Amino acid sequence: MDTQTLIYLFVGASFALYIGIAIWTRAGSTSEYYVASKGVHPVLNGMATGADWMSAASFISMAGIIAFAGYDGSVYLMGWTGGYVLLAMCLAPYLRKFGKFTVPEFVGARYYSQTARVVAVICVIFISFTYVAGQMRGVGIVFSRYLEVDINTGVMIGMAIVFFYSVLGGMKGITYTQVAQYCVMIFAYMVPAIFISMMVTGNPIPQLGFGSEVSGTGQSVLERLNGLGAELGFTPYTDGSKSTTDIFFITMALMVGTAGLPHVIVRFFTTPTVRDARKSAGYALLFIAVLYTTAPAVAAFARTNLLTSVPNTSYEAVPAWFKTWENAGLIAWMDKNSDGVIQYGPGAAFAGKPEFTAERGASGERLLKNAPTPTTTEVYVDNDIMVLANPEIAGLPGWVIALIAAGGLAAALSTAAGLLLVISTSISHDLLKSNLMPNISEKKELLAARVAAGVAVVVAGLFGIYPPAFVAQVVAFAFGLAAASFFPVIVMGIFSKKMNKEGAIAGMLVGLIFTFSYIVYYKFINPTAGPNEWWFGISPEGIGTLGMIFNFIAAVVVSKFTAAPPEHIQHLVEDIRVPRGAGAAIDH
């Protein structure tokens, strides 16, 4: 059976599985739609949380960024894993004990204010749509290569699949679909990694292969990469180019942003008890660690294979995978010196899809309408293809290539569904039911949630078709917005009896507006600005940390000059923090 047929078979079977689960778990009430009736087993919730968490950024883009950025890419590993520990240990059990459906509902009740709740809804929408843009882009990338369709067509197909099982099943359907998607994606990630680790180092465990010698060279993987890079004029793979300040701020933004992501937080509302929320957090951390400890090895192997198979090769002799990804619009070669040989050296990889013409150059390469900034390199590689192309670069069997296609789609679709659900519940439950239409029936509220999810899918698709950056970078912006808006208000809501509604609202607005404005200015209005022009040398990816600090300062200052929270709210905060009662008997 040829590779393309296997791809259709694997992807089709996975889609059939997701749709079947959605039909089987169709939500019939708002409790099922919002929090799966709070009846999800901790192990299953841990797997679903892992799938919700390990998005297209983790599966598709993170290893790609590490492959190109080397040491600088470690901020994603440190920030995302550290952030999940922070969320699991410090926030999730308390939020579950509070016992609400959504993060805005927690904000509204804790800060005794519908205004605070509406501001929280606005924050949810900003964060979720920014995040979902990266997921839909990831769906388009996978479809464009493996199903041989245009990226935009791939995004629309992904929209249709997500629409079906998120609108039909709600949190109940999404949870069990995400359990299946976790199994698909982790198997798809690990199988090629094990294969390639064996081929490169002889060690079947990728995490150990990463520190082993490359077979037949006497050099470790990292020494080999540094040597190959030096030969081609690259900075050593193990050297960093970012300042220590920027590394710190990006890592912190990713970490605290993780703890403020509404689609991850809501997963802990689905367990039967607070004790189960703690258990599911532990299981999720274990499931997530499998992929995150493998990513650096995958990045190093992919980079090594790329540097040994492409440079100084004639276009006629280039491996078949190169032309396949070129036709997909995710890799480009410009024969600048007209010698018919591919030279690869320092030069920015392009961030989005290049505009190809139908014409071919003198050496047979596809021509670009919008040529990238002139550099010495002739090769332009989309960061997001390194994991997806890795099996083909390494010459693995067709069924492994088909498996990675199914895994990439599972990663993007799982997180997209979780984000769309958060958007729809915020609109139907926090805006309509709690503000605009308090007397709406449960049946109409459920209908409103599904309509909101449908509209959100369409908007998300537009973001996928017109993405502002490559997948992991878009996601980093979402984390910055979450860090600057939700994290402070949740932390102070749990641990500070004196924080009032005025302080919380002021903090959220200051953090969100500052961070969003900074990102828009330096990524869209003045994208050529560098560290010397950034505030304190902080990049847009790390500015969420400063936004968080401004949030805390604004909240504390405003709360000092306004009335303290009512007595019953202060007692509520004490009750949330009391360690007694992990069991259901006193669970709120």
User: What is Dmax (Cα atoms) for the chain?
Assistant: 79
Closest CA to 247 of 81, 87, 76: 76
If you search the block for the tokens 């596809």, which residue do you land on? 366
User: Could you give the CA distance from residue 91 to residue 489 in angstroms, rounded to a whole number?
Assistant: 12
Please state, for a pLDDT cut of 70, what percent of the chain lies above it: 88
Q: Looking at residue 301, what is its pLDDT?
A: 86
Reading phi first (left if > 0) and then psi (alpha if -120 to 50, else beta), residue 348 is in: beta
Contacts of 218 (CB under 8 A, 6+ apart): none
Label residue 347 by pLDDT band (50, 70, 90): low
More confident residue, 142 or 353: 142
CA nearest 33: which of 210, 137, 146, 173? 173
d(CA 142, CA 388): 8
Three-class DSSP labels, 76-143: HHHHHHHHHHHHHHHHHHHHHHHCCCCHHHHHHHHCCCHHHHHHHHHHHHHHHHHHHHHHHHHHHHHH
Q: Are 478 and 131 in contact (CB under 8 A)?
A: yes
Cβ–Cβ under 8 Å, residues 178 and 417? yes
Which is higher by pLDDT, 211 or 57? 211
Q: What is the pLDDT of residue 540?
A: 87
Q: Kindly tell me if the per-residue pLDDT of 58 is higher than 80.
A: no
Q: How far separated are the first and last CA of the chain, in Å rounded? A: 55
Q: What's the pTM?
A: 0.78
For residue range 1-56, what is the model confidence (pLDDT) as tens digits?
778 888 889 888 888 887 787 777 766 666 666 655 677 788 888 888 888 777 76
Query: Other C-beta atoms within 10 Å of 191: how many?
Result: 17
Q: How many CB atoms within 10 Å of residue 104?
A: 29
- What's the whole-number mean pLDDT along residues 183-205? 88
Q: 371 or 568: which carries more pLDDT confidence?
A: 568
Instruction: Over range 432-460, report the average pLDDT.
Output: 78
DSSP state of 368: E
Q: Phi/psi at 271 (nearest 5 deg)?
A: -85, 155
Token pair listed for 511:
């953090």
* Token code pair at residue 567: 């007595």
- The Cα-based distances of 349 to 6, 275, 562 in angstroms read 30, 46, 51
Between 367 and 290, where is the model more confident?
Answer: 290
Whether 131 shows a pLDDT value over 80: the answer reads no
How is residue 244 written in tokens?
A: 């220590």
Q: Mean pLDDT across the chain, nearest whole number?
A: 79
Fold of 3-302+397-473: Hydantoin permease (1.10.4160)
pLDDT for residue 216 is more than 50: yes
Where are the domains positioned within the chain? Answer: 3-302+397-473, 313-385
Determine how many CB atoms are found less than 10 A away from the CB of residue 549: 17
Highest averaged pLDDT of the listed ranges 210-214, 307-311, 441-445:
210-214
User: In which band, very low, low, confident or very high, does the pLDDT at 556 lie, cut at 50, 70 and 90?
Assistant: very high
State the DSSP H helix or E strand holding residue 38, giving kind and residue range, or none if neither.
none
Give the model confidence (pLDDT) of 494-513 as tens digits. 888 889 999 999 998 999 89
Sign of CA dihedral 233, 238, 240, 246: positive
Whether 449 and 429 have beta carbons less than 8 Å apart is answered as yes
Predicted pLDDT at 36: 58
268 φ, ψ (degrees, to nearest 5) = -80, -5
Contact 408, 142 (CB under 8 A): yes
Say which range, 24-33, 91-100, 210-219, 473-482, has the weakest mean pLDDT. Answer: 24-33
- The pLDDT score that the predictor gives to residue 238 is 80
Q: Is the pLDDT of residue 586 over 50?
A: no
Q: What are phi and psi of 539, to 5 degrees?
A: -75, 165
Q: Determine the distance from the C-alpha atom of residue 327 to the mean position of all C-alpha atoms in its chain, rounded to a whole number.
A: 26
Query: Residue 358: helix, strand or coil by DSSP?
Result: strand
pLDDT at 354 over 70: no
Mean pLDDT, range 314-325, rounded to an integer: 82
